[in-house]
A and B are shown apart, each in its own frame.
Chain A
């Protein structure tokens, strides 16, 4: 079992819909959780971080964390073609130095 798992996709949604991206992790000691967006040929860009159970909203993005279920998700409301990218989930074990990344989910928003 991989430490951080994501569905590779591609996830296809129509423009204006809600895109839901999911991530599970295996280390119960994980304390910090991050979502990165990566456009083709570019570097990962941090878009959301979440540290406690519940929802965190930032514009069209909402991160959801459930530590009991070891599950973190990213919702993108009113999806736009410019949201088409690979979304990487990253988990920080405890308060240590290393992030563990999932392999990413490809999102395609169709106009």
Chain B
């Protein structure tokens, strides 16, 4: 039982390049989330998927797109990377059992955009 996995762990991009961050969970959770974490700003929600087939914007969605490929997988795409997108990206999942929203996080991807 690996929990939440993310690939890659590290990535360096040049401005304008594109890439997709991958996330998978093996806990049979319905909901999945993408966050970014910047120094002094805490975790900010980019996009989330409450259930397979649905996605919604979070607090900072500009410059990102997502795909909920199936119940296990939720990917985050940067179409044209900008230096402002340099951050640590975390994927999380939640069963949302009985209305509660305990979220479990993956190990993160450290992204640098030059």
Contacts known (A97-B50, A98-B58, A103-B41); A43 close to B99, Cβ less than 8 A = no
Report, as a range, how many residues of chain B touch the other chain. Answer: 20 to 34
Contact call A102/B100, Cβ cutoff below 8 A: no
Closest 5 CB pairs of A and B: A95-B99, A103-B42, A43-B105, A101-B43, A92-B101
Contact call A97/B96, Cβ cutoff below 8 A: yes
Contact with A along B27-40 (1 / 0, CB 8 A): 00001000000001
Report, as a range, how many residues of chain A touch the other chain. Answer: 20 to 34
**A-B residue pair count with CB separations less than 8 angstroms:** 52
Contacts known (A44-B43, A45-B105, A88-B42); A97 close to B100, Cβ less than 8 A = no
A-B contact pairs, 14 of them (CB 8 A): A32-B99, A32-B100, A32-B101, A43-B105, A43-B106, A44-B105, A45-B105, A90-B103, A95-B99, A97-B31, A97-B48, A97-B56, A99-B103, A103-B42
* CB-CB nearest in chain B for A95: B99
Residue A70, interface by CB 8 Å:
no
Contact call B96/A46, Cβ cutoff below 8 A: no
Contact call B100/A51, Cβ cutoff below 8 A: yes
The docked-state distance in angstroms from the alpha carbon of A51 to that of B101 is 11
Residues of B within 8 A of A49 (CB): 100, 102
Contact call A98/B99, Cβ cutoff below 8 A: no
For window 34-56 of chain A, which residues contact chain B by CB distance below 8 Å?
34, 42-46, 49, 51
Contact with B along A24-38 (1 / 0, CB 8 A): 000000011010000
For window 80-101 of chain A, which residues contact chain B by CB distance below 8 Å?
88, 90, 92, 95-99, 101
* CB-CB nearest in chain A for B40: A103
